Amino acid sequence: MRTGPVTFFSFLSLFAIAAAGMAAPAAAGFQPTRPAWGGFYMGVQGGYGWGETTTVESPDNAAPYNGAGNSWTGDSEGMLGGLHMGVDWESYALILGVELAGGYLAVEGEAADPNSGGLDTVALGGNGYYGEITGRIGFAPDRMLYYMKGGAAFADLGLEVTDGCNVDPCGAATIAASDDGIRDGWTMGAGLAYAFPNNLALRLEYAWYEFRDVPVVGTIGADSYAWEQDVNFQTVTLGLSFLF
């Protein structure tokens, strides 16, 4: 049984509750001289992600590698972290904003093609840089902000399909296919943030990311072989923002 995600989520929950509890007494007597949320902000975030990758062998291959059109799915998990910056506009309790975020993603996994001899053809990846441009809308009745976000995501996912050659024949007939491009997808999520009196905000955020039809290509001699991968993952991150 995997206890890592449960432990991590428990830590996030306890940390957020403790931080809010410590900040509440100070915030109660604080009267800001500017809107709590309107303006520019920047900060850091980190957290845990989990998801799955579905790999499909292209029917256009020179010859079926293991079976044209066959597919298989594997799980992925790991950590991510990076930076964010954005700007919010405040009208009464309504918050509208635009945010740019990015960093390093290590939500990794691997899975063997069940049609491969000795299960030696393996799809793997999920390790690389990511970025996103999102709009967000929120409600801030006081120093707590509740928001939703959505927009475009970009990632260098480091996807591969490799043949470890557990079953003969091997030699020059094995594949090492990869994807070297920056791929575009989409993301959406929701979160909450609490503003401290010293222009700091602690936030907890959930997000979904999806990248579809990512080509993974390799060659054997003069022949090209390709797979397509659909990648999705979910993240929970804890962030600290500086409000300007």
pTM (two decimals):
0.81
Q: Which residues have CB under 8 Å from 132's CB, separation 6+?
A: 99, 100, 101, 102, 151, 152, 153, 154, 187
Looking at residues 18-26, what average pLDDT do you find? 46
pLDDT of residue 5: 45
Q: What are φ and ψ of residue 46, in 5° steps?
A: -160, 155
Give yes or no for residue 106 having a pLDDT over 50: yes
Within 10 A of 196 (CB to CB), how many other CB atoms are there?
A: 19
Looking at residues 196-203, what average pLDDT do you find? 91
Alpha-carbon 94 to chain mean position: 27
How far apart are the C-alpha atoms of 228 and 55, rounded to whole Å? Answer: 6
How far apart are the C-alpha atoms of 91 and 172, rounded to whole Å? Answer: 65
Q: Where would I find the beta strands (DSSP E) of the chain?
A: 39-57, 71-91, 94-112, 121-139, 144-155, 160-163, 176-178, 183-195, 200-220, 223-243
Give yes or no for residue 24 having a pLDDT over 70: no
Mean pLDDT for the chain overall: 85
Yes or no: say if 126 and 109 are a contact pair by the CB < 8 Å rule: yes
pLDDT of residue 2: 41
How far apart are the C-alpha atoms of 120 and 155, rounded to whole Å? Answer: 27
Yes or no: say if 216 and 226 are a contact pair by the CB < 8 Å rule: yes
Looking at residues 176-203, what average pLDDT do you find? 93
Give yes or no for residue 31 having a pLDDT over 50: no
Q: Which of 86, 107, 94 is nearest to 207 (CA)?
A: 107
Give yes or no for residue 198 having a pLDDT over 60: yes
Task: Give the domain CATH number at 128.
Answer: 2.40.160.20
Could you tell me the pLDDT band of residue 8, with boundaries at 50, 70 and 90? very low
pLDDT of residue 166: 64
How far apart are the C-alpha atoms of 169 and 228, rounded to whole Å? Answer: 25
How many structural domains compose the chain?
1
Looking at residues 193-198, what average pLDDT do you find? 90
Could you tell me the pLDDT band of residue 172, with boundaries at 50, 70 and 90? low
pLDDT of residue 40: 95
Give yes or no for residue 153 having a pLDDT over 50: yes
Between 170 and 191, the higher pLDDT residue = 191
How far apart are the C-alpha atoms of 228 and 3, rounded to whole Å? Answer: 32
In percent, the amount of the chain with pLDDT more than 90 equals: 62
pLDDT of residue 22: 44
| Model confidence pLDDT, tens digit, residues 66-102 | 888 889 999 999 999 999 999 999 998 999 999 999 9
Between 37 and 28, the higher pLDDT residue = 37
Yes or no: say if 125 and 211 are a contact pair by the CB < 8 Å rule: no
Domain range for 64: 4-243
Q: What is the DSSP letter of 119?
A: G
Strand, helix or coil at 71?
strand
5-12: long-range contacts (C-beta < 8 A, 24 or more apart)? 5/48, 5/50, 5/77, 8/47, 8/48, 8/236, 9/48, 9/236, 12/47, 12/204, 12/236, 12/238
pLDDT of residue 33: 42
Looking at residues 170-197, what average pLDDT do you find? 88
Q: What is the bridge-based pairing of β-strands 223-243 and 200-220?
A: antiparallel
pLDDT of residue 48: 97
